[in-house]
Homo-oligomer: A and B are copies of this chain.
């Protein structure tokens, strides 16, 4: 098996989940990245192939999120001289707010770990995947990487120390992601945010983050729905997405439990109680974008309980 290599799936993720700016993320089944690792006779890690990316991603290991993540991990376990070739097959849009670079970073550590017969646990791999994503993103944040790697809904008390915790989620929830064909640079999505907020909004936001977590533990769909409400980030970033409130209204009118911006956008996500509501919601959101003359792509996925996996 070592000679033929391993293939892993590294899924997309929805960061923030409305009220959980920087501290919540959810793992999708799809889209995502396929990453293949094979032993090579040449010394060291190489990226031999990248497919599926219109944007030219760098094949230099030290500039590539998957490459850096894998290399940091190999250094940690004392295997940095090991000859390993990586192939990255991107099966998700880049710059969509669905954690594309996080998926690649997760795929990098997962593929190498599987190839080497699992020297590390997933939790042990997490810091290296976060370092990998940092190459693309500039910040040390786990809100996409941790859910993509570990699965489920991940709560992060503190990013600097990777104080991450998986919280339960009610069965059957479906996540609709509608990716409009517009460009938002992560830098612009950051720069638009005020570094100040009001005490009143902070109280509301702490109430909602707490409500969301309590709702997840208690499988209380109504409480989750009341809590999926971001009074701080969404009102500022909505300006970057033409038609945002029409799309959100369309989702809520179809019975979505909540709807907000996925990560830094422009993808808009909606949490739905079942597949029927999810399909109606997705179509209504796409139609609402169309009225603003914006084409969009729909992804519907349950919450991925497994995170990244060998397949």
| CB proximity of A263 to chain B, nearest CB, Å | 15
Q: How large is the interface on A (under 10, 10 to 19, 20 to 34, 35 or more residues)?
A: 35 or more
**CB neighbours of A158 from chain B (8 A):** 204, 207, 211, 226
A214 adjacent to chain B (CB < 8 Å)? yes
A218 to B167, CA, bound (A): 10
A160-195 vs B, CB cutoff 8 Å, 1 = contact: the mask equals: 000101010000000000000000000000000111
A157 contacts B223, C-beta separation under 8 Å: yes
Which of B195, B210, B232 meets A210, CB within 8 Å? B210
A19 adjacent to chain B (CB < 8 Å)? yes
Binds B, one of A20-28, A39-47, A125-133: A20-28
Which of B200, B202, B204, B226 meets A232, CB within 8 Å? B202
Q: List 10 A-B contacts (CB under 8 A).
A: A19-B206, A20-B206, A156-B207, A158-B226, A163-B207, A193-B199, A196-B196, A206-B206, A210-B213, A217-B217
User: Interface on A for B, CB 8 Å cutoff?
Assistant: 19-24, 155-158, 163, 165, 167, 193-211, 213-214, 217-218, 223, 226-227, 232
